[in-house]
Amino acid sequence: MRIDILTVLPELLAGPLDHSIVGRARKAGLVEVNVIPLRNYTHDRWRTVDDYAYGPDAGMVLKPEPIFEAVEALQAEGAYDEVIYTSPDGELLTQPLTNALSLKGRLLILCGHYKGVDHRVREHLVTREVSIGDYVLSGGELAAAVMVDAITRLIPGAIGDETSALTDSFQDGLLAPPAYTRPANFRGWGVPEVLVSGNFPVIAQWQHEQALERTKRLRPELYKRYERGECDT
């Protein structure tokens, strides 16, 4: 899988994509992630990527020319399955959407910035707009890092224990059960008896009950969807 990220702030993406599961998956060749500076596709001496918005509102808007030039140059190396624009207007990033994106071969993420991007980019280049939650970020870079992380961990081999991505919260529409490690007694606080029993079917049953209880209590709307069988991961 290949994910290209087109951005005016490549520095913001250096840290999160170089470590842990994403860093290792990149080194192992499971995913290719390229951070591409939008300014590489400008031709003036100031490397201008934005301009004043038409109309009365203050603020700068990303110009269409460098974005079209960049995307078209990149597309010449191979077509994208999706050209994603990060925006609070977009479809919410959920586990089902993440699962679907992880099955694609080639993605481009265009990071939104300032007051936004010239609308012709969204109409004629972008195939999908994605938001990571109902709040406003200063730019799409952190959202792009979130997307790449959520997608990469689903790629077979990215996580040491092959099955552990399947037991994530949300993967079955439920929150994850509590986890414990040693010591069995820490400051007088114990570990649930069942977990130290070694009886795996009983442990699995307990974990499922815990997942149900936690989801019902902490995320009632998620629980209702689960009960109705609506979790379409």
All residues at 6 or more sequence positions from 92 whose CB lies less than 8 Å from its CB, including other chains: 130, 131, 132, 133, 134
Q: Strand 50-52 and strand 82-92: pairing?
A: unpaired
22 binds ligand 6GU (CB under 6 A): no
Residue 137, marked binder: yes
Closest by CA to 92, choosing from 8, 4, 31, 170, is 170
All residues at 6 or more sequence positions from 106 whose CB lies less than 8 Å from its CB, including other chains: 1, 2, 3, 4, 78, 79, 80, 81
Per-residue b/e over 142-161, b at no fewer than 16 CB within 10 Å? bbbbbbbbbbbbbbeebbee
When binding is defined by CB under 6 A, the residue of 133, 178, 183, 190 that contacts ligand 6GU is 133
When binding is defined by CB under 6 A, the residue of 75, 88, 99, 172 that contacts ligand 6GU is 88
| Residues touching ligand 6GU, count (CB under 6 A) | 14
Of the pair 152, 215, the CB lying nearest ligand 6GU is at: 152
User: CA–CA separation, 154 vs 143, rounded Å?
Assistant: 17
| Residue labelled with tokens 């009632």 | 220
The continuous run of DSSP H or E covering 65 comes out as helix 64-75
When binding is defined by CB under 6 A, the residue of 46, 58, 123, 135 that contacts ligand 6GU is 135
Fill in the per-residue mask, 204 to 223: x = in contact with ligand 6GU (CB under 6 A), - = not in contact.
--------------------
98 binds ligand 6GU (CB under 6 A): no
Residue 112, marked binder: yes
Per-residue b/e over 210-226, b at no fewer than 16 CB within 10 Å? bbbebbbeebeebbeeb
User: CA–CA separation, 87 vs 132, rounded Å?
Assistant: 8
Residue 136, marked binder: yes
Tokens of 44: 């003036």
Q: Residue 89 Cβ, how far from ligand 6GU at the closest point, in Å?
A: 9
Residues 67-86 that bind ligand 6GU (CB under 6 A): 86
When binding is defined by CB under 6 A, the residue of 8, 107, 109, 112 that contacts ligand 6GU is 112
59 binds ligand 6GU (CB under 6 A): no
Tokens of 231: 């979790």
When binding is defined by CB under 6 A, the residue of 37, 140, 173, 177 that contacts ligand 6GU is 140
Residues 141-200 that bind ligand 6GU (CB under 6 A): 143
16 binds ligand 6GU (CB under 6 A): no
When binding is defined by CB under 6 A, the residue of 7, 95, 102, 131 that contacts ligand 6GU is 131
| Contacts with ligand 6GU, residue ranges (CB under 6 A) | 86-88, 112, 130-133, 135-137, 139-140, 143
Binding region for S-adenosyl-L-methionine = 112, 132-137
